[in-house]
Amino acid sequence: AINISKLRESTGFITFDPGFKNTGITKSSISFIDGEKGELLYRGYPIEQIINQCSFIETSYLILNGELPNTAQLKSFSEKIKKFNSIHKEINKILDNIPNSYHPMGILSSLTYILDAFINSLREEDLYLHLLAKLPILAALTYRKKIGVPPTYADPHLDYTSNLLKMFFSIPNQSYELNPIISDALNKILILHADHEQNCSTTTVRLLGSAHAGLFSSISAGMSALWGKLHGGANQAVIEMLEAILKSGGNIKKWIEKAKNKKDPFRLMGFGHRIYKNFDPRAKIAKKVAENVIQQLGISDPILELAKEVERKALQDSYFLEKKLYPNIDFYSGIIYQAIGIPKEMFTVMFALGRLPGWMAHWKEMKSNKDPIGRPRQIYIGYKKRNIKKN
C-alpha cells in the first residue's frame, strides 16, 4: 500500500495511475467511445453509419479534417494522394537488404522511419498525403518480397482499396481481376480501424510528437507499439490461438479454463478491452463482415465457426461476464483478412494501414492544441542515496 504522507514528502502530491487507467492526457475531438453503451463515433458519426455509407478514403478525410468531404473535396483529396503514389528507388534497395525472416511489422516501421529521408515536401498537409499514398506501397512491397514476387507499382486508375489489393496480389505479366466482394470487405475492415482515441499506439504517436519529433518517426513508433500482442498484434495471435485449439482437438472449455487460470500467463486473445465494458461495436461489425465475405466468396472456414463457438462459450462463463470481457476488434478481423488472402504475418500491417489516418489526426491535433511535452512522474522505490565502495 502507498503511504500518502510519505509520498507527499518525497515527490509532492502526484497521481499514481499505472497504465493510465484513469488519466486524461489531452482534449480531443476526433473519436468518442462510450464503453458502457458499446458506442464508437468518428467526429460525431456512429461507426455503424460510416461503415455503410463511406469509403475508407472518405473516412480518412473525415478523421483528418473534421468533416466529411463533398464530391469535389473527395476528388481533389484522392487525386493529391495519387500524385504521391511512388517511392524512391533507394527504399527498394533498403528493403532488399532486410532479412526475409524479419516480421513485416518491423519492416514497415523501419521503412516508414527512413521514408522521411526521401521526402522533400515542406508543407505539413502534403506529409499526410505522402503517408496515405506510400504506406500501402511499403506494405505491398514487404509482402511481395516475403513471397518472392517482384515489386509492383501503384495504379492511378484505381480507387484506394482496389489499388492496395492489386499491389498485393497482381502477378507480373498477368491481368489482375478485382473482386468487388473483397474490395468491399477490405474497405470496411480499414474503416473499423481508422481511429480509437487514446489507445497505446496513438498515445505513443502523440507522445513522440509532443517532444517535437517528426511525423514519420512518430508514426513509426506508433507502429512499433501496435505490433505488441496486447494491442494490434492480437489479431495474429487470435488466429494462431484458434488454429492451436483446432489442432489440439477443439476442446474449447479446456482453453477457456486455461485463460481463467491466474497461474497460467495465457489469455483468451481477442477478448477484453480497457474501455469497452459492454461490447466492442467494431467486433460486432467485423463478425458480420467475416460471415458475409465467407458466404459471398463461397468458401467454408472452420476457424469462423470455431471463433463463434469460443465467443458463445466464453460469454456463458461467469469469469468473462463478471470481468466484462467481450470480443474486441481483433477477434474477427483475422478471419476477414484470411478470407481475402492476406496471410497471418501481415494482419497487423493491415491494422496499421487502417489506423494511419487516426495516428496522423492525433499528431495534427496535438500540434494545434500546443500540448506540452508528455512527461509522466514516477514513485521511486529504489535505494536511498548511498556511496560507492570499491574493494
| Catalytic machinery residues | 273, 330
Pairing of strands 31-34, 45-46: unpaired
Give the residue with the Cβ less far from ligand ACO, 269 or 356: 269
Cβ atoms within 10 Å, residue 378 = 9
CB of 20 to ligand ACO, least distance (A): 10
304-309: long-range contacts at Cβ-Cβ below 8 A with a sequence spacing of 24 or more?
304/335, 306/242, 306/245, 306/246, 306/250, 306/252, 307/238, 307/242, 307/331, 307/332, 307/335, 309/252
Residue holding cell 497505446? Answer: 200
**Dihedral (Cα; 60, 66, 67, 73), 10-degree rounding:** -60
Give the residue with the Cβ less far from ligand ACO, 68 or 275: 275
CB of 194 to ligand ACO, least distance (A): 12
CB of 181 to ligand ACO, least distance (A): 25
Torsions phi, psi for 380 (to 5 deg): -75, 125
CB of 281 to ligand ACO, least distance (A): 13
Cβ atoms within 10 Å, residue 386 = 6
Measured CA to CA, the distance from residue 47 to residue 68 in angstroms comes to: 13
Give the residue with the Cβ less far from ligand ACO, 146 or 267: 267
Give the residue with the Cβ less far from ligand ACO, 58 or 330: 330
CB of 30 to ligand ACO, least distance (A): 16
Cell, residue 281: 461495436
Measured CA to CA, the distance from residue 363 to residue 355 in angstroms comes to: 13
Give the residue with the Cβ less far from ligand ACO, 112 or 328: 328
Note whether 6 and 348 are within 8 A (CB): no
Note whether 337 and 190 are within 8 A (CB): no
Residues forming contacts to ligand ACO in the complex (CB under 6 A) are 19, 199, 230-232, 234, 259, 267-274, 323, 325, 328-330
Give the CA distances from residue 69 to residues 58, 119, 164, in Å, rounded to whole numbers and listed in that order: 7, 26, 22
Give the CA distances from residue 28 to residues 199, 273, 295, in Å, rounded to whole numbers and listed in that order: 13, 20, 39
Give the residue with the Cβ less far from ligand ACO, 103 or 274: 274
Residue holding cell 476457424? Answer: 303
Note whether 54 and 67 are within 8 A (CB): no
CB of 230 to ligand ACO, least distance (A): 4
Give the residue with the Cβ less far from ligand ACO, 82 or 273: 273
Measured CA to CA, the distance from residue 231 to residue 168 in angstroms comes to: 24
Sheet of 31-34, strand order: 31-34, 39-42, 45-46
CB of 272 to ligand ACO, least distance (A): 2
- DSSP 8-state assignment for residue 68: -
